[in-house]
Amino acid sequence: MRVGVITVANISTTSEYICIMNWIDTHAHVYLPAFEEDQNEWIERAKAQGIQKIFLPNIDLESIPRMLTLEAREPSFFIPMMGLHPCDVKDDYEQVLSEMEAWWDRRDFAAVGEIGIDLYWDSTTLPIQQKAFIRQIEWALKKEKPIVIHARESFKEIFEILDQYKDSGLTGIFHCFTGSIQDAQKIMGYKTFMMGIGGVVTYDRAKIMKVLADIPAEFLVMETDSPFLPPVPHRGKRNESSYIPIIAQKIAEAKNMSIEDVAAITTANANKIFQQKELA
Ligand SMILES: [Zn+2]
DSSP per-residue string spanning 262-276: HHHHHHHHHHHHHTT
User: According to the model, what pLDDT value does residue 205 have?
Assistant: 84
Ligand 1 centroid to residue 215 C-alpha, Å = 22
Length of the chain: 280
Ligand 1 centroid to residue 3 C-alpha, Å = 34
Beta carbons of 10 and 50 less than 8 angstroms apart: yes
Ligand 1 centroid to residue 240 C-alpha, Å = 13
Continuous H helices in 119-258: 126-143, 155-162, 181-190, 208-213, 244-255
pLDDT in tens, 80-91: 999 999 999 999
Domains of the chain: 23-274 (3.20.20.140)
Ligand 1 centroid to residue 80 C-alpha, Å = 12
pLDDT beyond 50 at 8: no
**pLDDT range class, residue 3, cuts 50, 70, 90:** very low
Beta carbons of 234 and 203 less than 8 angstroms apart: no
Range 8-23 average pLDDT = 62
User: According to the model, what pLDDT value does residue 13 have?
Assistant: 53
Percent of the chain with pLDDT over 90: 90
Ligand 1 centroid to residue 172 C-alpha, Å = 14
Range 235-259 average pLDDT = 97
Ligand 1 centroid to residue 226 C-alpha, Å = 8
Ligand 1 centroid to residue 187 C-alpha, Å = 19
Cis peptide before 16 (omega within 30 of 0): no
Burial of 75 (0-12, 13-18, 19+ CB in 10 A): exposed
Ligand 1 centroid to residue 79 C-alpha, Å = 14
Ligand 1 centroid to residue 114 C-alpha, Å = 6
**pLDDT range class, residue 17, cuts 50, 70, 90:** low
Ligand 1 centroid to residue 19 C-alpha, Å = 31
CA-CA-CA-CA torsion for 200, 205, 211, 216, nearest 10 degrees?
60
Query: Which of 17 and 66 is assigned the larger pLDDT?
Result: 66
